[in-house]
A and B are shown apart, each in its own frame.
Chain A
Amino acid sequence: MSANLSWFQRLWSLLCSLKLAIVLASCATLMAVGGSLLMPANPRVFAPLDEKILKDWLVDIALQSPALTWWVPVAAVLVLLLGLNTLCCVIDWLLHLRSRWRKSGEYLIHFGFFLIVCAFLWGNLAGYRAGGQPIFVGQRVELPPYGLVLKLEEVKPLAGPGGRIMELANTLALYRDDSLLKQVEARVNHPLTWRGLVVIPTDAGQVMMGGRLRTYSLMTVNYDPGANLALVGAVAMGCGVLVALFSFYRKRSSGDHPDIE
Chain B
Amino acid sequence: MPELQHGLIYGAFFSYVVAVFLYVCHFRRRLTWLWRSAFVMVLLGFGLQTLCLALRWIIAGYLPITNLFNTQFFFSWCLAATYLYVELRYRIHGAGLFVMFCCLLLFASVLTRDPAIPPLIPALDTPLFTLHVTTSFAGYAFFAMAFSMGVLYLAQRWVGSSLLPELKLLRKINEEAVFLGFCLFTLCLIFGGIWAYVAWGYYFSWNIKGVWSSLVWLFYGGMCHAKFVRRWQGTGYAILSIAGFALVLFTYIGIGVLLSSNHPLT
Contact = CB atoms under 8 A, between A and B. Distances in A.
Interface of A: 18-19, 21-22, 25-26, 28-29, 32-33, 36-37, 39-40, 46, 49-50, 109, 120, 129, 160-161, 166-167, 187-191, 193, 198, 200, 220-222, 224, 227, 230-231, 234, 237-238, 241, 244-245, 248, 252, 257-261
Nearest to B232: A22
A21 B232 CA distance: 14
Contacts of B122: 166-167, 187-189
Given A189-B122, A231-B194, A241-B186, A198 B222 contact: no
A22 B226 contact: yes
A46 to B, nearest CB: 7
B194 A32 contact: no
Contacts of A40: 208, 259-261
B28 interface: no
A198 B202 CA distance: 9
Q: Is the interface of B mostly helix, strand, loop or mixed?
A: helix
A153 to B, nearest CB: 20
Interface string B229-262: 1101100000000000001000000000001110
Range for the number of chain B residues in contact with chain A: 35 or more
Contacts of B260: 40
Interface stretch (B15-23, B91-99, B155-163, B213-221): B213-221
Nearest to A86: B221
Contact of A238 (B176, B190, B212): B190
B228 A21 contact: no
A26 B123 CA distance: 35
A49 B207 CA distance: 9
Given A238-B187, A238-B190, A36 B212 contact: yes
B229 A18 contact: yes
Contacts of A32: 211, 214-215
B146 to A, nearest CB: 15
A32 B172 CA distance: 30
A29 B202 contact: no
A29 B215 contact: yes
B200 A39 contact: no
Contacts of A19: 229
Contacts of A224: 201-202
Contacts of A129: 201-202
A50 B196 CA distance: 11
Residue from A189, A227, A245 with most neighbouring chain B CB atoms (10 Å): A189
Interface in B96-155: 119, 121-123, 125-126, 128
Contacts, number: 120
Given A29-B219, A36-B208, A189-B126, A234 B201 contact: no
A200 B261 CA distance: 22
Given A25-B221, A33-B212, 18 more contacts: A18-B225, A19-B229, A21-B222, A22-B226, A29-B218, A33-B215, A40-B208, A50-B205, A188-B199, A189-B126, A200-B199, A222-B202, A227-B197, A227-B203, A238-B187, A258-B228, A259-B228, A261-B228
A222 B199 CA distance: 12
Contacts of A161: 119
Which 10 pairs, one residue from A and one from B, show the smallest C-beta to C-beta distance?
A49-B206, A222-B201, A25-B222, A188-B122, A40-B259, A198-B201, A167-B122, A234-B190, A189-B126, A241-B183
B198 interface: yes
B258 to A, nearest CB: 9
Contacts of A220: 200-201
22 contacts: A22-B222, A22-B232, A33-B212, A36-B208, A37-B259, A40-B208, A40-B260, A50-B206, A120-B204, A166-B122, A188-B125, A189-B126, A189-B198, A224-B201, A227-B203, A231-B194, A234-B194, A237-B186, A241-B186, A245-B180, A259-B228, A261-B228
Nearest to A244: B183
Residue from B125, B215, B226 with most neighbouring chain A CB atoms (10 Å): B215
Nearest to B61: A161
